[in-house]
Amino acid sequence: MARILIVDDSPSQLLGIKRIVEKLGHEALTAEDGAAGVEAARRERPDLILMDVVMPNLNGFQATRTISKDPDTQHIPVVLVTTKDQETDKVWGLRQGAKAYVTKPIREEELVTTLKELLPA
């Protein structure tokens, strides 16, 4: 069982993603914005982070860059989960350190496949 941090400012999105993660048998941790996500990543050291992009305080691109540059958290894979579906957004997100990019509305099969690829067996 992995510990997965879900960072999203939408309560309904948090709940939907949390259901998928828990259905797979993983533990879901949550944070409501990018700054809280960075803090939770440092404190909790999750196995993987699912990060929204459009959020107050610190957006997902900024939070991903912070996490991927910090020696204490750079080993944690970040998956951007966002409505931003342009190729330039995806390229930019991956350049910030994200390991994968999933667009909303989330297709459960796509998220499950991404988690299986990034989490240790």
The whole-number pLDDT of residue 120 equals: 80
Q: Is the peptide bond before 105 cis (omega within 30 degrees of 0)?
A: yes
The whole-number pLDDT of residue 77 equals: 98
The whole-number pLDDT of residue 16 equals: 96
Share of the chain above pLDDT 90, in %: 98
Give me the residue spans of the domains in the chain.
Answer: 3-118
Give the Å distances, CA to CA, from 29 to 23, 26, 46, 77, 95: 14, 10, 8, 15, 25
The whole-number pLDDT of residue 8 equals: 98
**pTM for the structure as a whole:** 0.97
Asked if the model's pLDDT at residue 92 lies above 80, the reply is yes
20-77 confidence digits (pLDDT tens): 999 999 999 999 999 999 999 999 999 999 999 999 989 999 999 999 999 999 999 9
Q: Which two tokens stand for residue 66?
A: 């912070």
Share of the chain above pLDDT 70, in %: 99
Asked if the model's pLDDT at residue 121 lies above 80, the reply is no
The whole-number pLDDT of residue 4 equals: 98
* CATH number assigned to the domain with residue range 3-118, chosen from the 4 options 3.10.450.50, 3.50.50.60, 3.40.640.10, 3.40.50.2300: 3.40.50.2300
